[in-house]
Homo-oligomer: A and B are copies of this chain.
Amino acid sequence: MAERLYLYDTTLRDGQQTQGVQFSTAEKLRIAEALDALGVDYIEGGWPGANPTDSAFFEAAPQTRARMTAFGMTKRAGISAENDDVLAAVMNAGTGSICLVGKSHTYHVEAALGISKAENTENIARSVAHIVAQGREALFDAEHFFDGYKSDPDYALEACRAALAAGARWVVLCDTNGGTLPEEIGRIVAEVIAAGIPGDRLGIHTHNDTETAVAGSLAAVMAGARQVQGTLNGLGERCGNANLTTLIPTLLLKAPYADLFEIGVERAALSGLVRVSRMLDEILNRVPMRQAAYVGASAFAHKAGLHASAILKDPATYEHIDPEVVGNTRIIPMSNQAGQSNLRTRLADAGLAVEKGDPALGRILDRVKARETDGYSYDGAQASFELLAREELGQARRFFELDRYRVTVERRRNALGSIVSASEAVVAVTIDGEQILSVSESHDEEGNDRGPVNALSQALKRDLGKYQASIDDMHLVDFKVRITQGGTEAVTRVIIDCEDGKGRRWSTVGVSPNIVDASMEALLDAIRWKLIRDAG
């Protein structure tokens, strides 16, 4: 019989302690809805009264299946729970659950608060009792619990017992500075339970300062704790909190957790995990971490030639779970370590069926290798790879030829005396023997100069004769530049991502010592790939 394990999300509170993160109220609402759809049990929405957006969030808080929880701290000494205005602001948020942080480490009680242990115990008990008296659910976050337990176990336990005796549903053991390693967390949780505090009243709250927050949470669960606190994408103060985006699939899919426990997240909701993770990155305007467990774009990318060919026979050989279960996809990138079978799969993905043993395969691999030595990289530029392969297979169409271009960047004082920059590009292409000359300045919607690559792109797209319709619905969405080694010289590698109106997204690469040349090469590949796709 599987035991129930509760998930407590604190993305909106501890997650907001991440350096550079400040959610708006609207963003908090979006995240809360996504968390609820995922199936967490608790959503900690923030600290009402401490932060205007947090107060506003609780006023507009959505109806959720998850228990909406307000965060605050235990009442101060020398004042009653009823008269503590900080606590009152938390109570006034009107949530069904309230989580209060308080001290459980003797040193912090005496040095930071400057009160006696007995006073601190009373603050905990009175605060919890005040919540319970109003018919709300109370949780007690035992700050610095593990460090406190190591220096004064009796008092650390006393603080927890006081909260439970006053009616707290949960006592959450917090590793506040993130320094406790998983083995020690497991041992201490087991000792706490042996000391008489039931595991189904214990939560675990870890931080990732030693890159073991997930493992520390799992160790606490194995030792008997039944509530796990964490954040989406591991957001949080310093190195972040335990990552629920990792813990959820581990608890739902992996032995022994999947057999021992039941969580509120359904398998159907799990297939939205990648989407939820990306949504958060989008709100934060962060580049998603490619290597993230389960949800990263590289999490199921098989680069080694040996691996890639085994994957083709049986995906389970190099994958611990099926990527689709979490909404992710398998990637077999091109690289100079890939073998021919890997290559044929890549070609098939591009709609190019090539027989096993076709000599073109060897030529394609050789050319990829040679170009990678020059500084090209096809891992992230599948469209350029396809064009290269098509040339070797005799299936390339050029559509148009670039005859020449010229781009000028100028910085000078304008008539008003302020310094402005302007970029202008001229491009000459030949289509069916006829030359077309186009010119364009670079500017965004507000008329600001966006530089030479933008000018070239605009000039190229201005008139492409009979292919114009095809490129009108394509636009550049990302542009990456790195200086790399090509042979013996430093060269610039440019990778361009484009999208079109049909929802396609593709990437191309260009390499040259001249950054404008490298960009132009990637741009031309991007347009040719689009023309091939549209030609069908």
A interface residues (Cβ-Cβ under 8 A, vs B): 17-20, 22, 24, 26-27, 50-53, 73, 108, 111-112, 144, 176-179, 181-184, 208-212, 214-216, 218-219, 222, 234, 237-240, 243, 246, 250, 254-255, 285, 287, 289-294, 296-307, 310, 313-314, 317-321, 331, 333, 335-337, 369, 372-373, 377, 379-380, 402-413, 421, 423, 442, 444, 448-453, 478-485, 489-490, 492, 512-517, 520
Contacts and interface: CB of A to CB of B under 8 A. Distances in A.
A481 B453 CA distance: 14
A238 B380 CA distance: 14
Contacts of A290: 19-20
A254 B150 CA distance: 14
Contacts of A292: 211, 239
B451 A179 contact: no
Copies in the complex: 2
Contacts of A239: 291-293, 296, 298-299
25 contacts: A22-B335, A24-B484, A181-B215, A182-B218, A182-B219, A208-B293, A209-B294, A209-B299, A209-B320, A210-B246, A211-B246, A212-B214, A212-B218, A237-B302, A237-B307, A239-B298, A240-B291, A285-B483, A404-B410, A404-B413, A406-B410, A407-B410, A408-B408, A423-B514, A449-B514
A212 to B, nearest CB: 5
B484 A479 contact: no
A238 B314 CA distance: 17
Contact of A313 (B26, B111, B304): B111
A376 to B, nearest CB: 9
Nearest to A409: B516
Given A19-B331, A410-B404, A293 B27 contact: no
A421 B513 CA distance: 10
Given A296-B239, A303-B237, A513 B112 contact: no
A481 B285 CA distance: 9
Given A210-B214, A406-B408, A449-B514, 10 more contacts: A19-B297, A20-B380, A52-B336, A176-B318, A182-B218, A209-B299, A285-B482, A450-B513, A452-B452, A481-B492
